[in-house]
Chain A
Amino acid sequence: MSSHAYDPAATVRAYLAVFTALMVFTGLTVAVAFMNLGLMNNVVALGIAFAKAAMVMAIFMHVRGSSNLIYFCIFGSLFFLSLMFYFPLIDVLSRNLLGIPGK
């Protein structure tokens, strides 16, 4: 369906490489969870999760080399998702700062 020739061997190699990397990262995230890095625990855990997600999307979901429209879908949805996180977050984090009850 795409205009360039399909290379079966290279594709399977890429899939296996991603699978291996995902296993490594999974082990890493569990290992890091047992270390005490304070707030960085959350940063590392999410960072690893995003790295795994990026690999799955790029190689398993064929995003790498696909049209810009697909990238638009991915980053667009992440953007709107972040809006949904951001505003309730600023609400919750800034409550009771003025000493006025209920605000």
Chain B
Amino acid sequence: MESSDQRVTYINAAHTVRSWLLTIDHKRIALLYLVSITVMFLLGGMMAGAIRLELLTPEGDLLGSDTYNKAFTLHGIIMIFFFLIPSIPATLGNFLIPIMVGAKDLAFPKINLLSWYIYIVGATFGLVATVTGGLDTGWTLYTPYSTAFATTNVVLPATGLFITGFSSILTGFNFIVTIHKMRAPGLTWFRLPLFVWAQYATSLVMVLGTPVIAITIFMVILDRSGFGIFDPNIGGDPVLFQHLFWFYSHPAVYIMILPAMGVISEIIPAFTRKKIFGYGFIAASSLAIAIIGFIVWGHHLFTTTQSMYAATVFSVLTFAVAIPSAVKTFNWAATMYRGSVSFESPMIFAIGFMGLFLIGGLTGLFLALLGLDMHVQDTYFVVAHFHYIMVGGAIMGYMGGLHFWWPKMSGRKYPEMPAKISAALIFVGFNGTFFPQFIAGYAGMPRRYHYYPDEYQILNVCSTMGAAILAVGYLMPLFYLLWSLRHGEEAGKNPWGVLGLEWTIDSPPHPHNFHETPVVDYEPYDYPEAAHVLGLHHVDPEEAVHV
């Protein structure tokens, strides 16, 4: 078998900087995104560090009020818009979707590259805004503070968000068209991997929701320039802003979690060596989450002047949206039941996801309850809830996927022991950081305050200690994954010994992915019927794929 040094791969096909910056190969673009979002993650993490350090003591002694406001605002904006929303779609999605549908590239490769450049421009606006005074409105940009009273530069970061939104829209649009139009012969919808279904549902949300935040930001910029769309002095309604803002920002959380769920749906059958339980239900639940997710946003407005009737309707619908997520969780568990489970590092991340997403999701139901929400809205209970989903869920899914497909993307295996330690540290550190916040929030500690009554200090100290452990857990992959690029063992086509189109091609793949268009006439996750494939590590690249 040729080693990857002799074979043409997407990595060694050309070496110039220009060939990387002007690439239209979806795999290279995925790596461009990977580097960019990692930089933004580290930046957002530093903001988190500043917050947690400030909250070690009850007095506001480390950062001033204004600086603290900027810290949590930028933490939110960077982590949501510049890290989480692009994370899995732009890295793993870009890399894997064409391969999983048996295509040579996405439908619009140049638009794919354009989406990365748009992301970079938007991120640059954000960074410039950060160093020229920052933003202190909270990531939610609520009016009339953001439109009439904020003295920080609102228009600059808002423009950056507006621009970055188009990166998201173009990615989603590319995926939708690719999945509809570029599937290989024989690859019907119900033979697609569940990662593709999850990305498709995510892309629907991206395409339908992101334009609304764009126009809302546009209206905020207009108001900053003297228009009065949300100005209460002339009859404007700040709650209308919240309706428009959350119309996107709630589905945005599904943009963040659905791809992670897709990753879990791939990892669990792989390391259980068993057909996934209820494929159809999991596929349908991805679409159900995407659609129902569009009609629950009012639960962010429970403590505003939104009418009682609308609030009740939104409360009921929010309970409804939990159902498809529960379906997925049950199906993953049922897949593991009587399976041959092995605990490689991606599986540890996946199991961690299941536990943490469970807690995050259940606490979401607490918040959907009108009466309880009145008590815990704008407290650390909410903060803990969404971090369980976003970090315990989405980021664990991202890390699991990164580890699972790392050998495919890089051609190298990473060392397993540091990876397991990292997963464990992340799990322990995460719970240490955020579980105390549930308690603090329920006991009344409000969010976005940098000083608090003394009785909350012990919980905050526990949280900061957990955050330190979490930080170590997140930094470790940076080292061992990069180390593996030079010193890792060569991965071969199928290092995990699992089923899937992507595991039948070279690691790293050839620029065109497949030497011949695959014909897919088999169901996905066909364990143990296709068990004989698992022993194969040498597949003649000239043969069309038939299992």
A residues adjacent to B (C-beta < 8 A): 69, 77, 80, 83-84, 87-88, 90-92, 94-98, 100, 102-103
Contact = CB atoms under 8 A, between A and B. Distances in A.
A4 B523 CA distance: 35
B427 interface: no
B310 A84 contact: no
Contact of B310 (A87, A98, A100, A102): A87
A80 B295 CA distance: 9
Q: What's the dominant secondary structure at chain A's contact region? A: helix
A94 B310 CA distance: 7
B305 A95 contact: yes
A81 to B, nearest CB: 9
B295 A87 contact: yes
A47 to B, nearest CB: 26
Contact of A90 (B208, B247, B294, B310): B310
A77 B208 contact: yes
Interface string B149-182: 0000000000000000000000000000000100
Interface string B225-247: 00000000000000110010001
Contacts of B127: none
B313 interface: yes
B305 A102 contact: yes
Interface residues of B, number: 19
B473 interface: no
Contact of B308 (A80, A83, A103): A103
Contacts of B310: 87, 90-91, 94
Given A90-B310, A90-B313, A94-B310, A80 B305 contact: no
B309 interface: yes
Contacts of B180: 69
Interface in B247-305: 247, 294-295, 297-298, 305
B243 A103 contact: no
A80 to B, nearest CB: 5
Contacts of A100: 308
B111 to A, nearest CB: 18
Given A83-B294, A83-B295, A87-B298, 15 more contacts: A69-B180, A80-B294, A84-B212, A87-B295, A87-B297, A87-B313, A90-B310, A91-B243, A91-B298, A94-B308, A95-B305, A96-B307, A98-B308, A100-B308, A103-B307
